[in-house]
Every structure is written in structure tokens, then in C-alpha cells.
Structure 1
Amino acid sequence: MSQRIIDPRIRLRHIACFLEVARLRSMAGAAEALNISQPAATKTVQELEALLEGQLFDRSRRRLALTAFGEVFFRYASTSLAALRQGIDAARGAHDAAIVRVGALPTVSAHILPDAVRGFTRDNAGVTPRIITGPNGYLLSLLRTGDVDLVIGRMAEPNAMVGLSFEHLYSERVVLAVRPDHPVLTAGHFHLQMIEDYQTLMPTPDSVIRPIVERILLAQGVTRLHNEIETVSNAFGRAYVRQTDAIWIISEGVVAEDVAEGQLALLPVDTSETLGPVGFTTRTDTLASLATVSLMQAVREVAERLRRTGA
């Protein structure tokens, strides 16, 4: 039985360009990242679509989006490129590289990762942790292409977990944070609809907690947010709510230390419905390096300590 041969006209440059456009959702952004012209990037993607006999991107929106055909191809193409990179590293004797690349959602980078990295670097001299933060979709795209070794954060929706595995560490909820002397804290009989009178900092549409936030707001009759700002920046959110009457809707881990130190306060609203799992997301088709395994264990130990203390 003869094996099916991959069309030799499909080159590595086609795959690399496609993955970069899919990751950035922008032809111009991909061209800049690949150090080629935008027309060259456009031509490369069009060549690939012609060879595959299918449209990879929906070009009717302001930002490019993968078609259903493109989504399927992306999963396999990204996995293949990641496996190729791992094979090259292994052949060069660099399987246990001196860099561990971690994609971390803001809640993890603020709450659990600092202690874990401190312990890891103490016990693993010569290994450099590289921490990359951003929205969940962006980090998962980096994981699929092998640009990060693991992602730490909330578990993604099931349709985004194809080819990936998740290890639960702990659970956390979404909270509403304000400055300690915020006027709503002194109002009697607080209810969630009161936040409509204030500016609100919301997670961005591509963040993993955005659908969760939207569901709880709708369930509580909140339909008219005032002068909404979308951000996943810890630094901006923290600075902005301290200087204004804005209300920050964010994962509890991001503001846990600020609340403990009295820099921020939480609104008295039941958000137990937003409780969700936080943990490791890894690829199912690759083996973690020894350094990556060591860092994961350091994170587990910190998570377990926080779980025991209730921090």
C-alpha cells in the first residue's frame, strides 16, 4: 500500500507564514514578524490556499479570522512545526535546553508564578525561565507552534483544547475590585446593577474569562456598562482603579496581594458562579524537558501551599 505523499509544492515558508498570520490575525503583523513585505506574505498565504484548495482565512472582518477549514489545518500544521523544532533540538543535543518558555495568564504571573520561579532559579542554576504573558488565545497559539513549553492559566473552552492536555492546580473566581475609599462601598444594600453608574474595566474579548464575566452580568441584569475599557494589563488596571472610581472585573489572583495590603477592596458580590480551574496546559504530542518538569513541580508546590493556607 503506497503512502500518501505531501504535495512537494507546499514549502516550510508557506506553513510558517500561515501560522504567523493565524497567530497575529494580521497580514501586516505577520509580514513584520517574518521580516518580509506584506504583499509577499499575502502571496504566500494565497499560494497555500490554492495548493490546499480551500480558504484559510475569513477576510470579511477588520481582523483576519480562521475559517473552519483553516482551524482544522492550523491544529495539524502547528503541531507538525512544533514536532519538527523539537526534533531539530534533540538532534543537536539541545533537548534539555537552558531556557524554559512559559506562557502565563495575568492571574498566574501576579499570584503564583513569582514564588515558583524564585524557588526554581535557586535550584536550577544556569536555566533561564522566559515568561510570556498575554490573552489565552495568543498563548495557546504559541504553545501549538512550540514557541512556549507550557501555558499556565485557566482551562480553555473544549473546542480550543484539541491536541492539548490540562492539569488542574487550583480554582479561582472573578472579582470586582475598586479603590478602598470607593463611594459604592459605603452604599447600603449593594447590588450588582449599581456598577452601571461607574466606568468598568473589562477583560478583552479574547480573554478566557470574558464569557464568564458576560454571563454573570447578564444573569444579574447588568446590561448598560458605563464607558467600558477593555484590558488584560495588570499594571494599567491596578493604576487606573487606584486613581479613579472605575470598577475592575478581574481574576482574583491578580489583585489578591493588593487586597491583602489594603491597596484595593472587593465589592460585596457573590461571584461563586465564576469559579474555574487554573492549571497547566501542555501539548499531548511532545515530552517536556527536565527543566520544564522541574519548573512545573515548583509551581505545584506553591499552588499546594496557597491551597493549604487559603491565600
Structure 2
Amino acid sequence: MIDPRIKLRHLVCFLEVARLKSVVNAAELLNISQPAVSKTIQELEQLLGGSLFDRSKRKLFLTPFGEVFNRYASTSLAALRQGIDVARGTHEATIVRVGALPTVSARILPDAVEAFTAAGTGVHTRVVTGPNDYLLSLLRTGDVDFVIGRMAEPEAMVGLSFEHLYSERVVMVVRPGHPLLGERQFELPMIENYQTLLPTPNSVIRNLVDRLLLAHGITQLRDEIETVSNAFGRAYIRRTDAIWIISEGVVAVDVAEGQLALLPVDTSETTGPVGLTTRTDTASTLAAGSLQQAVRDAAARLR
């Protein structure tokens, strides 16, 4: 038997603190006081007999014990939510919730959603975007049905399954007429003279970008701007001489339409798999499976 002293509020509170890495933010989201969140976590730790969070840093990080508990608590809550939705026949059961990295939101998801909704099933689509770790946390708690994006690091894929759809590289884009486009012999270190837009440190492609720059001896970029906002990136480089380092899928349409231009640099070493990530312990609903197939079809047309 499960210890009857462990309540649903303990699990929900724990999962939100683990996802947000903050008692303050979890309290705001759950609409309860910070002391109440702290007390709930402490109660849960006493009931489980172990420390769930490392409190030695500014942000809260899961201990190894907490990582194990998080894996099972999140999938259990996700299964419970799905069961309640289906049993009640609620509006939530008629919605397919997909988490999508910006690269697929611009490249394959529009075609997939158009094909999915054209079938006239009456099922609605909810698209959530954000950093990879955020989307995976939503997947674990059942707040999205599946995630489309780059494959995460192995330690983040425990309890999850990845289906490869296509591969994608990181590119460097500038406005048309940028001075570097006129260089007869372009070399990557030339970008050091220009402002650079980079993905944030927690983004799935940041390590790839850092390794690429380091391999070419670039250690000191001028006035870096870190952003995951596609709207800001597009607007900023169109009005400045800045260079945007971003996943190809985010800017593929802009480049094809001549709104942006690629710098002539070989970034093949940044190529990585893009695909579907799902939970291994929970079967997809019929509607979610249909949208996944529409995504597969849209991705196949890229090849």
C-alpha cells in the first residue's frame, strides 16, 4: 500500500518546484504562500525518508534521490490526469497538446496541424513552445501529449522515447546586403567584429554552437546577445549588422524568401536529430497518434 499520508498536493507541489527550480515561482503558479510550499516539500521529504532537493545553490536542483522520485511521480500524475480526462469526457480529452521547439514550430508543424485539422475530427490542437528542458518537464507531468524537437541528452531521456524524423544543422544568418556577404574569402573568425545573437545556455543547441566556435579559435565574441525569441531575432538582424546563430528550421522560410541570408560557413558538425519524444509508460491517444502521423508526413517531405 502507498503511504496514505502522501497526498496529491504533495506530488503536485513537488513537481512544480522541480520543474521551475524555485519555491517562489511554484508558490505563485499554485496560488499558495511560499511557506506553504516549503512546508509541503519538507513533509514529503520526511514521509519518503530522503532529501529531494539540493538547497546549496540559488536555484533548487533535484538530488539523485529526487531525480528517481520525480521520474515516477511525474509519469503517475500524467497517467492519472489522462484517465480522469477520458473517463469524464471533458474538453481536455478533445485537445491534443504538443510541445514544440521553435525550429519545428516554423518548419514542419504548420503543415502537420493544417493536415490534421483538415480531417474535421473536431479535435483541437494546443501548441506550447519553449526551451527543451521546459517542454520535457511538461511531457513528464502530462501537460503535453508529446514533444517535437532535438533529442535531449541521454540523462534527460530516462522514461522517454525518441523517434528520429530528420536531421538539422545550426546556421548563421544575416540581413541581405550584410558586409560579410561581400567577402571574397569568408572565414569564420570574421564574425568577431560583429554583434552576435546566441541561443541561451540552457538551450539544446548551445553546446554545439560553443564547440563550433571554439574549433575555429573564436573565444571572444563582441557584445553577445542571448535569446530564444524568434520574433526578436528576426527583427534585430534585419535592422542591424548582427549575426544570428540559430537552428536552420527557424529561419528556413526566411532564407527561401530572401528575407535573410546564410553566411557561407560549413556547420555540418552541428547536425543533430530532430524527432518525436513521448513517454514510454503511457500510450498515446488516438487523436495524439493522428497528429504524430501528420508530423511524420510533413517531416518526410523535407527529405
1:137 and 2:133 are equivalent in the alignment: yes
Q: CA deviation at 1:184?
A: 1.7
Contact 1:96 1:290 in 2 (8 A): no
Residue 267 of structure 1: aligned partner: 263
Q: CA deviation at 1:161?
A: 0.7
Contact 2:86 2:93 in 1 (8 A): no
Q: Distance in 2 between matches of 1:53 and 1:292?
A: 38
Q: Distance in 1 between matches of 2:81 and 2:105?
A: 26
Q: CA deviation at 1:95?
A: 11
1:213 and 2:209 are equivalent in the alignment: yes
Secondary structure at 2:93's aligned position in 1?
A: coil
Secondary structure at 1:190's aligned position in 2?
A: coil
Residue 171 of structure 2: aligned partner: 175
Within 5 Å, which residues of 2 pair with 1:240-251?
240-251=236-247
Residue 19 of structure 1: aligned partner: 15
Contact 1:155 1:277 in 2 (8 A): yes
Q: CA deviation at 1:63?
A: 2.3
Contact 2:200 2:227 in 1 (8 A): yes
Q: CA deviation at 1:93?
A: 4.3
- Residue type matched to 1:23 in 2? R
Q: CA deviation at 1:59?
A: 2.4
Secondary structure at 1:156's aligned position in 2?
A: coil
Within 5 Å, which residues of 2 pair with 1:21-60?
21-60=17-56
Residue 121 of structure 1: aligned partner: 117
Moved more, 45-54 or 86-95: 86-95
Residue 156 of structure 2: aligned partner: 160
Q: CA deviation at 1:97?
A: 2.0
CA-to-partner distance for each residue in 1:289-308, whole Å, 9 max, x for gaps? Answer: 1111111111111111121x
Moved more, 51-60 or 222-231: 51-60
Q: CA deviation at 1:62?
A: 2.6
- Residue type matched to 1:169 in 2? L
Select 2:193's aligned residue among 191, 197, 202. Answer: 197
- Residue type matched to 2:190 in 1? M
Residue 64 of structure 1: aligned partner: 60
Secondary structure at 2:301's aligned position in 1?
A: helix
Q: Distance in 2 between matches of 1:113 and 1:229?
A: 27
Secondary structure at 1:103's aligned position in 2?
A: strand
- Residue type matched to 1:214 in 2? D
Residue 253 of structure 2: aligned partner: 257
1:83 and 2:79 are equivalent in the alignment: yes
Name the Cα RMSD after superposition.
1.5
Q: CA deviation at 1:208?
A: 0.9
Select 1:295's aligned residue among 281, 291, 298. Answer: 291
Q: Distance in 1 between matches of 2:193 and 2:110?
A: 36
Secondary structure at 1:162's aligned position in 2?
A: coil
Q: Distance in 2 between matches of 1:157 and 1:189?
A: 36
Residue 108 of structure 2: aligned partner: 112
Q: Distance in 1 between matches of 2:251 and 2:17?
A: 34
- Residue type matched to 1:229 in 2? I
- Residue type matched to 1:257 in 2? V
Contact 1:86 1:95 in 2 (8 A): no
Q: CA deviation at 1:60?
A: 2.7
Secondary structure at 1:223's aligned position in 2?
A: coil
Q: CA deviation at 1:220?
A: 1.3
Q: CA deviation at 1:183?
A: 1.4
Gaps of 5+ in 1: none
Q: CA deviation at 1:199?
A: 1.4
- Residue type matched to 2:142 in 1? G
When normalised by structure 1's length, the TM-score is 0.93
Contact 2:164 2:273 in 1 (8 A): yes
Q: CA deviation at 1:239?
A: 0.8
Secondary structure at 1:75's aligned position in 2?
A: helix
Q: Distance in 2 between matches of 1:78 and 1:157?
A: 19
Q: Which runs of 4+ in 1 moved over 3 A?
A: 93-96
- Percent identity of paired positions between Structure 1 and Structure 2: 76
Count of residues in Structure 1 that have an aligned counterpart in Structure 2: 303
Secondary structure at 1:165's aligned position in 2?
A: strand
